[in-house]
Amino acid sequence: MELVNLRVEESPESPDRVRLLGDVVYDTGATTPETYWFDYPAAVAHGLSTTGNAWLACLLPLAVTLGEPLRVPAPVSARLLAGAREVMGIWTSWYPHLEEVDLEVETREAHPASASSQGAFFSGGVDSFFTALRLCEDRVDPDSGNPAGSVDLITVFGFDVPLHRTEVVERLCRRHREVADALGARFVDVRTNLRHTRWREADWELLAHGPGLAGIGLGLEGRYRSLRIAATGGYRDLHPWASHPLVDPCLSTEALEMVHHGAAFRRVDKMRRLVASELTSWALRVCWRSGTDENCGECNKCYRTMLILELLGALERSRTFSATSVDLRRAGRVYCERPWDYREFRDIRELAHQVDRPDIALAATRAMKGSRRLTGCLRALRSLPRSEAGGWTRRLEEWLLRDWIR
């Protein structure tokens, strides 16, 4: 696959925006080039980059997925190229079905960092809110320890919030701009069509979203000295994931440091910090399933968040969840599908004992015990040979999962 026709144009969305575009030609499959684009506010366009750095970072997951060499004609950072090769080594050790691909790029002479701004990707969720609060309230340069320059909170649309949901996009823009204003930061909204291209063939959770964010940030590499990507989990819960403390820093250049932030903290620790801020009572958005600016209040992630808010005495004043208390009968049916789900529920149970809420501790225990039994049943069902398994196995699986919150 090859990047061609890299260019910058006025955005067709608005004269107040600029668009960084590149066409990708694939070695197999589609015979016509496919256009990828990142749309930025004109107010930050002075930092726009026409190097190959953004494209190397964001296209790497797809190149490895397709098994095609990646050719980028624009010069790239020598540090980033070395980091990209390291990332491929990490991925192939995690996922043996993948193989490293050739990176056909030319490196450029390294330039020291000259930008003073810092940025943080901000979705409005627990992890990114924690990172934003820490960055804006402890505003120091990570190298010198001196007061840092300006801070941007960057929200990307086109990932979990579809671009065609224009009213949702505008409401979230208003909300996140208010958060940024309250923290003395600038709000930067970025829009991209990445998930409407073949890029979506790369596994979102395991490969794509971390390099996608890094690529978007590198598109503005002339503006930032460092960019923070909020840790999804913690050092205690490390597992193969697209945004990871081993991966994100590898996508740095000589001038722009990618920082994987917050992995030293558990989710309950982050929530303790968040409930101390009035901002989170009206701006916390954790639900990816709704595809809107609202929390559905019915999914696994919403329930786990509401349980912690309840234990910290903050759910009743939260305006982003419709419920003022948690249905503990339903909370006991939250499905722990992955190992880190159990660890989070153990944290919830520990916190429940600390604040004398044995009812919530019992609900957490029920969720974990029931999930283990359910997982055993599903594993046995899915292990049946294909020749013996028919449509009845799918129907049985749906029946087993029917009352569980996922």
Q: What is the pLDDT of residue 387?
A: 62
What is the percent of the chain with per-residue pLDDT over 70, rounded to a whole number? 95
CA distances from 341 to 156, 336, 345, 373, 380 (A): 26, 5, 6, 15, 21
Give the whole-angstrom CA distance, residue 232 versus residue 128: 9
Task: Please report, for the chain, the start and end positions of each structural domain, with discontinuous segments joined by +.
Answer: 2-108, 117-261, 286-384+397-401
The alpha helices in 95-208, defined as continuous H runs, are: 126-137, 166-182
Residue 390's pLDDT is 65
Cross-strand partners of 22: 36
What is the tens place of the pLDDT at every residue in 325-380? 899 999 999 999 999 999 999 999 999 999 999 999 999 999 999 999 999 999 99
What is the structure's pLDDT at 90? 98
Cα separation, 280 vs 236, in Å, equals 25
The predicted structure's pLDDT at residue 156 = 98
Q: What CATH number does the domain located at 117-261 have?
A: 3.40.50.620
* Residue 137: predicted pLDDT: 84
At residue 252, φ and ψ (nearest 5 deg) are: -90, 160
Tokens of 161: 């919030």
- One pLDDT digit (tens) per residue for the chain, 406 residues: 999 999 999 999 999 999 999 999 999 877 789 999 999 999 999 999 999 999 999 999 999 999 999 999 999 999 999 999 999 999 999 999 999 999 999 998 766 667 889 999 999 999 999 999 999 987 655 555 545 579 999 999 999 999 999 999 999 999 999 999 999 999 999 999 999 999 999 999 999 999 999 999 999 999 999 999 999 988 998 999 999 999 999 999 999 999 999 999 999 999 999 999 999 999 999 998 887 899 999 999 999 999 999 999 999 999 999 888 899 999 999 999 999 999 999 999 999 999 999 999 999 999 999 999 999 999 998 888 766 556 788 889 999 999 999 9
Cβ(151)–Cβ(182) under 8 Å? no
What is the per-residue pLDDT for 32?
A: 87
Residue 140's pLDDT is what?
53
Report yes or no: 118 and 149 within 8 Å, Cβ to Cβ. Answer: yes
d(CA 361, CA 352): 5
Distance CA 37, CA 53 (A): 14
pTM of the model: 0.94
Residue 73, H or E segment: strand 70-77
Among all chains, which residue has been given the structure tokens 């912690």?
308
